[in-house]
Structure 1
Amino acid sequence: MLTLRDHHTGDLFDPWEYLGPKRRRLLDRSWAGVFRDYLLEQLPVRDLATGFRDDFGRPTKDIYVAIGALILQQLHDFTDQQTTEAIALNIAWHYALDIRHNSDAYICERTLRNYRKKVLDAGLDQVLFRTLTDKLIKEIGVDTSKQRLDSTAVRSAIRGLTRLGILVEATCKFLRELKRKHPEQYSLVDPEIIRKYVTRTGDGCFGDTRPSESRKRISEAAGNVFKLVEFFQETECSTLESYQLLRKIFHEQCEVSSTGEAPVTVRPPSKTGCDGVINPADPDARYNKHRGTGYLVQIMETYDEEDSEEPDTSITPKPDLITHVAVDPLTMHDKDALTPAFDDTEQRGIKPQELLADSHYGSTECIENGNGRDVEIVAPAQTPKGKLQGKFTLEDFDVDDEGRITRCPAGQRPAETSVAGIRLQVIFMTETCESCPHKDRCPASSVGRSSVRYQYTHDRVRLRLRRLKERGDEFRDRYRWRAGVEATMSRLKYQMGMIRLRVRKMLNITYVATLRALGLNIRRVAAYRSAVG
């Protein structure tokens, strides 16, 4: 039976008068006051109330308290047990959630998990973040015309596995689910496979494999997986989630050959892509050479330029609030996150006019994408590959207004230049280039030709102008404000506890990331209100 307390109508008598003025002032200036004043009445309780009936079943907990508790749980990085204790005993939680009845001051862990599942099933985590963040932006009067974007990697609650470990754990996961849901099919599995993968008793278990023997044992595991995949392929067990995962991992790690002595061979590491499953416990987690394992979290926030030599201490700067959160696979490139960020903020009416980002968002394609959405992206172009290799690039040559090279880094003029629709070409004297001390660093080449030639495109000329402009003081003065987003990433990871999460899978990671970003916004607004007084 649905239970909704009235948190909108005013009170004839103040139920919190017993706290006294000092404690009341502390609560009003803390996160509890921000949540109570701005967000409690904005909770989308009606969206969640559709799952309950008004005339049947046991009374539910106050849905305002239930949804609010889920938000505050992520704000404090609490476990379910800590959350239930805070609801029962913590005055700040009572004040924030407007808990006045003893029946509302207790939620068991199972009830908390049930409400969290309902929020996830209904997709309310994104609704909560957008609705409540927009409310904070409106109430505080934050300017959203200037924002900055960056990404960071977070890791779910998984351990690193070898390729042998991935096959073994995927097989064990399938067999355990098979035993629960199809015991008659489970009885048909070879007892030796059950001993090695499920009970793990006796000799020959994969958990006892030495590192020096793993290369030999992985072929054995691949053969066992192949037998299971083939045996249950045409049965009703093929619809199991664990079977689909086992089959996917098998095709990622192994190859089936119709010829040769072994029908199944393990793919060499060079042929195994980075987009494969790295742990059966979290099939959505991915591996990235530079970031490690886990998920990619995109964060966009507002910022305010405050750089006067004599700042006005009487004016408190507005807080920087996170406006967009997205969780993507770790194999996704940052440039692909721009369009979803623009769509999200434009739909809510908080799209930026100027966006600061690093070089991953600074390609020509990204700049044009921003211009098409009326957003000026201020981001440096990536360093040329030749520069990273210690060679000269087009930025080191003298170029005229038409893009023609007029002088090389050594001071030599070209013998001939030509401009076509697609590319430009410059030719230098072979005799001059052969005696040049910078010959090994020069991009011009005479291999297989009688002359030294250097070709480049018109887009490369425009990119050169952009890179030279980025060396100026004007660009550096605008771009230096991007560094502030690194502090936000640090607070999310270490203060909000996202450096190592207690959950797995994309849906749960998205839930945690969005609500903890909302929690950080609440903390920042609380700090602002405390400073304002």
Structure 2
Amino acid sequence: MWVRDRLDGLWHDEDFDAWYPRDGRPGLSPAQLATVSVLQFLLNLSDRQAAEAVRCRIDFKYALALELDDPGFHHSVLADFRDRLAQDDRADTLLDIALARLKEAGLVKAWGRQRTDSTYLRAAVRELTRLELVLETVRAALEECARTAPEILEGLVDEDWALRYGRQVRLVSQPSHPAARLKQAGADAAELLERVRGQHPGTPPGPALEALRQIMVQHFLVDVRGRLRPRAEKDGLPPTGRRLESPYDLEARYTRRGHRTWVGYLAHTTETCDEGSTNVITDVATTVPTGDSVALPGIHTRLKRRRLLPAEHLVDSGYTSVVLHDTAARAHRITMVGPVKTDNSRQRKTGDGFARENFIIDFDRREVTCPNGQVSGNWNELPAMAPYTVVRFDKRHCGPCPERSSCTSGGTDGELPAPTPARAPGPQPRRSAGPAVAAALCLTLRRRGHHE
């Protein structure tokens, strides 16, 4: 009622001119359909229930500015409208228009307080086993070829192929001969891809063929004898962040957070949270399941474009890092408020010893001074370690140092410690000074411009 009385609706039909052709049959008001879609989501209604609410409920008719005897519309119209809404980031455009009108009405303002949090989004796909994934991807690629280039399948598809890929794949929990069927599916996929490359060289493949190509790379390899076989654990499998989970959604990924696992995406929602005012969503970002901190620069960029940057931004520990705090303050004058990531260093757990902040870092001279006064002798800015710099101290200084055990857990002279796994790129929580190499200290620092 507030939106209808003060704004005459969040959207007008003129905002949707680019969505529809100039000629054709008369259509329903797209501004009304957009409003119905919002109310449908808020009340968790199906398409049939939403269409019935437009026909029967007075509050819906008031929000849509309809006459009381208006018959409404058929429920299938909502599905058609969502298909248009899903194209070319149109949902973001509608959010921009709505926020601009809410800002003019004084319901939302810049330089207030906002908060951001993420939640999981499940993809509209089935969770498939490895065998089901390969079989279903081959079937999807065959159907795509049958629609777009049927000549590819001539002389290739026979009755055996029809039995294997003629219907949607749904296997029991313990299918018969899974290893043999997986090898056969891999051989069929390789033959199909070779046929496509031979008959249509240089032509970009469709989404199903591209999914088949990626899945073949991820789950199969050619051994030293030239034979195609499924990858085993010893051969190395791609990480879950890159592994395809369905041929029908190439961006959905398997993710585990705490005790929750899902195949899909992350939704980052930002809303105002000033005291004494209505909370209004100012940004929604759907991303692949990566660290929350990856989405934060994009959130600030969109809020700046909408002229709705907050003075204080409340986030949880997934969004916090020294780099992001510094960037938000320097680039946007935003004060980030959130818990600091847990320090898992040995010094933190034992309550003594030297951590990274106890070392003096001089970026101009490209050297680091340890708490005992020794200066590093090696400064490497390796491209593979970007944006990190690796600094090593000479073992002649660290070996006889009486306080060596306070800053590194490495062995004595002549002993090599266990190898340390490579660190993932991106902001890292504070940790111990670094691994020891032949009783020498190794520090990993962020390069200049990434103050941490």
**CA gap 1:192/1:341 in 2 versus in 1, 3 angstroms:** same
Does the aligned pair in 2 maintain the 1:222–1:254 contact within 8 Å? yes
State the partner residue of 2:265: 295
User: Which residues of 2 match residues 431-442 of structure 1 at below 5 A?
Assistant: none
Match of 1:163 among 122, 130, 146: 130
Amino acid at match of 1:266: R
Match of 1:369 among 300, 311, 327: 327
State the partner residue of 1:195: 163
Match of 2:297 among 327, 339, 344: 339
Does the aligned pair in 2 maintain the 1:151–1:297 contact within 8 Å? yes
Match of 2:413 among 433, 443, 448: 448
How many angstroms apart in 1 are the aligned matches of 2:152 and 2:445? 65
How many angstroms apart in 1 are the aligned matches of 2:142 and 2:148? 10
Match of 2:221 among 255, 258, 271: 255
User: Which residues of 2 match residues 30-49 of structure 1 at below 5 A?
Assistant: 33-38=1-6, 40-49=8-17
Does the aligned pair in 1 maintain the 2:354–2:407 contact within 8 Å? no
Say whether residues 1:121 and 2:79 are aligned partners: no
In structure 2, stretches of 5+ residues that fail to align are 362-367, 380-390, 416-437
How many angstroms apart in 2 are the aligned matches of 1:396 and 1:241? 50
How many angstroms apart in 1 are the aligned matches of 2:352 and 2:407? 8
State the partner residue of 1:176: 143
1:40-88 superposed Cα distances (whole Å, 9 cap, x missing partner): 444152242345566x543222333222222222222322222221222
Say whether residues 1:105 and 2:71 are aligned partners: yes
How many angstroms apart in 1 are the aligned matches of 2:171 and 2:80? 36
State the partner residue of 1:74: 41
Say whether residues 1:223 and 2:193 are aligned partners: no
State the partner residue of 1:486: none
The structure with the largest helix share of the pair is 1
How many angstroms apart in 1 are the aligned matches of 2:128 and 2:196? 26
**CA gap 1:299/1:386 in 2 versus in 1, 3 angstroms:** same
How many angstroms apart in 1 are the aligned matches of 2:236 and 2:348? 24
How many angstroms apart in 2 are the aligned matches of 1:429 and 1:324? 54
Deviation at 1:452, TM superposition (A): 6.7
Does the aligned pair in 2 maintain the 1:352–1:375 contact within 8 Å? yes
Deviation at 1:173, TM superposition (A): 1.7
How many angstroms apart in 2 are the aligned matches of 1:147 and 1:158? 33
Amino acid at match of 1:156: A
Deviation at 1:232, TM superposition (A): 2.5
Amino acid at match of 1:285: A
Deviation at 1:404, TM superposition (A): 7.2
- SS of the aligned residue for 2:277 comes to coil
Does the aligned pair in 1 maintain the 2:36–2:50 contact within 8 Å? yes
Match of 1:348 among 286, 306, 309: 306
User: Which residues of 2 match residues 140-159 of structure 1 at below 5 A?
Assistant: 140-142=106-108, 144-145=110-111, 146-159=113-126
Does the aligned pair in 1 maintain the 2:58–2:68 contact within 8 Å? no
How many angstroms apart in 2 are the aligned matches of 1:123 and 1:456? 44
1:236-280 superposed Cα distances (whole Å, 9 cap, x missing partner): 5974332222222222222235x4162344354732232121012
Deviation at 1:117, TM superposition (A): 2.3
In structure 1, stretches of 5+ residues that fail to align are 1-32, 307-316, 407-413, 467-533
Does the aligned pair in 1 maintain the 2:303–2:309 contact within 8 Å? yes
Identity %: 22
How many angstroms apart in 1 are the aligned matches of 2:376 and 2:214? 51
State the partner residue of 1:312: none
**CA gap 1:400/1:213 in 2 versus in 1, 3 angstroms:** closer
How many angstroms apart in 2 are the aligned matches of 1:263 and 1:91? 65
**CA gap 1:107/1:187 in 2 versus in 1, 3 angstroms:** farther
Does the aligned pair in 1 maintain the 2:393–2:442 contact within 8 Å? yes
**CA gap 1:251/1:132 in 2 versus in 1, 3 angstroms:** same
How large is the Cα RMSD of the aligned pairs?
Answer: 4.0
**CA gap 1:260/1:79 in 2 versus in 1, 3 angstroms:** same
**CA gap 1:134/1:232 in 2 versus in 1, 3 angstroms:** same
1:8-55 superposed Cα distances (whole Å, 9 cap, x missing partner): xxxxxxxxxxxxxxxxxxxxxxxxx1342355444152242345566x
Amino acid at match of 1:112: L
Amino acid at match of 1:333: G
Deviation at 1:136, TM superposition (A): 3.1
- SS of the aligned residue for 2:269 comes to strand
**CA gap 1:38/1:392 in 2 versus in 1, 3 angstroms:** same
Q: How many residues matched?
A: 399
- SS of the aligned residue for 2:265 comes to strand
Match of 2:341 among 352, 365, 382: 382
Does the aligned pair in 1 maintain the 2:186–2:228 contact within 8 Å? no
State the partner residue of 2:435: none
Does the aligned pair in 2 maintain the 1:398–1:405 contact within 8 Å? no
How many angstroms apart in 2 are the aligned matches of 1:235 and 1:372? 55
User: Which residues of 2 match residues 353-432 of structure 1 at below 5 A?
Assistant: 353-373=311-331, 374-387=333-346, 390=349, 399=358, 417-418=374-375
Does the aligned pair in 2 maintain the 1:392–1:442 contact within 8 Å? no
Does the aligned pair in 2 maintain the 1:40–1:68 contact within 8 Å? no
How many angstroms apart in 2 are the aligned matches of 1:126 and 1:85? 28
Q: TM-score, normalised by structure 2?
A: 0.74
How many angstroms apart in 2 are the aligned matches of 1:327 and 1:44? 26
How many angstroms apart in 1 are the aligned matches of 2:139 and 2:272? 47
How many angstroms apart in 1 are the aligned matches of 2:317 and 2:10? 38
- SS of the aligned residue for 2:227 comes to coil
- SS of the aligned residue for 1:382 comes to coil
Does the aligned pair in 1 maintain the 2:399–2:412 contact within 8 Å? no
State the partner residue of 1:207: 171
